[in-house]
Amino acid sequence: METRTDEIAEGVYRFSTAATVGGGQPFTFNQFLIDAEAPMLFHLGHRGFFPLISDAVARVMPLERLRYLSFGHVEADECGSLNAWLAAAPRAEVVHGRTACMVSLTDLADRPPRALADGETIDLGGRRVRWIDTPHVPHGWEAGLMFEETAATLFCGDLLTHGGDGPALTEGDITASAIAMEDVFHSMSMSPNTDDVLRRLAALAPVTLALMHGSSYRGDCEAALTRFADHYSGAAG
């Protein structure tokens, strides 16, 4: 395996490692670096992937510069290597929503995490990120996402997951592919707040959607998220 690096938006780097899943189909695991005065890495990857991913990040900037580490929810592919990153980046702080910090991260992380309130922002120096609570969307009580306000990039976690090892960034339709993948994985949680959360994300009108699994998307992101919400609203009804 190898980890590929692409700049998908100004100062936003995607690190992508393709593995194989059932039937031998490729499936990507992606991390994103926001390069600013106080850089943030969103998604940390499996523990076993750490040597590949950290080498790729180090080719963009010294790991010691990392200031913030975050991810969508507590799961091996999102944060299995959390403590390896903390060891490699002595100034780095784990930041996540209050629920994740309360139920998991205070115990799991080798350094105390910083709990963020819904809507709380962090100034990275030239970039500004906002934490958004998304409980159970796409799954996990503690789920949440980051929105980089300066370039309007939404870091989507497992939301809009699709398979294949496509281009780093696409302007083609990803919503249909994500719905088809959901028919295989059944990973989306349906709860009373699902529609509200998806439409809240659409209302941000992102310019770029940075996906953990699959190609990132640039285009009418509001429409893409709205179509996704419409699909689940119809399924719920």
Query: Looking at residue 24, what is its pLDDT?
Result: 73
Q: In the chain, what is the greatest distance between 2 CA atoms, to the nearest angstrom?
A: 50
pLDDT average, residue stretch 192-213: 95
Domain boundaries, the chain: 3-236
The per-residue pLDDT of the chain, averaged, comes to: 94
| pLDDT given at position 161 | 93
Note the pLDDT of residue 185.
81
Query: pLDDT at residue 111 above 90?
Result: yes
| pLDDT reading at 236 higher than 50 | no
Model pLDDT, residue 22: 66
pLDDT, tens digit, 9 for 90 and up, residues 125-176: 999 999 999 999 999 999 999 999 999 999 999 999 999 999 999 999 999 9
74, burial (CB in 10 Å: exposed 0-12, middle 13-18, buried 19+): buried
User: Is residue 94 within 8 Å of residue 70, measured between CB atoms?
Assistant: yes
Tell me if 112 sits within 8 A of 100, measured CB to CB: no
For the structural domain made of 3-236, what CATH number should be given? 3.60.15.10
Token look-up 């789920």 returns 143
- Encode pLDDT of 187-196 as tens digits: 888 888 899 9
Instruction: State percent of the chain over pLDDT 70.
Output: 98
